[in-house]
């Protein structure tokens, strides 16, 4: 059974706006685009395809650009079989009230600090 993926809303919010021919997911899987051989160094694609045959769960062949999300300084490949992004999204949903309270209090404190600054003209 495939693991549940994060929502499109979450994916867009944390989109790293980067993509490429090969990306490593935080879970250790390596995703590569086998349809764009011209961007690989000589022999690199062939090596990845051999690794994918030997370790199909670790090296994942794709037919499109590999895009990612960045969360907490880590890179998560979109569509990876791991549930890393889903875990973050569930954390945010589960703790939504506390996160909202923190952000509102933080914004109020920053507003008060900004309001206390006097600009002399």
pLDDT for 111 equals 95
Tokens standing for 21?
Answer: 């021919």
Record the pTM: 0.79
Give the residue from 32, 68, 36 showing the smallest Cα distance to 53: 32
Q: What average pLDDT does this structure show over 25-37?
A: 92
pLDDT of 7 over the 70 cut:
yes
pLDDT for 4 equals 75
Distance between CA 30 and CA 22 in Å, rounded? 7
Q: What average pLDDT does this structure show over 64-84?
A: 93
């Amino acid at each position: 059974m495939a693991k549940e993926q994060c929502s499109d809303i979450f994916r867009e919010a944390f989109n790293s706006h980067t993509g490429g021919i090969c990306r490593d997911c935080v879970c250790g899987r390596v995703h590569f685009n086998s349809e764009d051989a011209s961007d690989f160094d000589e022999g690199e694609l062939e090596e990845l395809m051999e690794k994918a045959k030997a370790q199909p769960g670790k090296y994942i062949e794709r037919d499109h650009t590999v895009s990612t999300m960045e969360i907490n300084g880590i890179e998560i490949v979109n569509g990876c079989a791991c549930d890393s992004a889903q875990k973050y999204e569930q954390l945010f949903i589960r703790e939504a009230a506390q996160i909202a309270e923190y952000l509102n209090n933080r914004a109020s404190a920053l507003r008060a600090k900004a309001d206390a600054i006097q600009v002399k003209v």
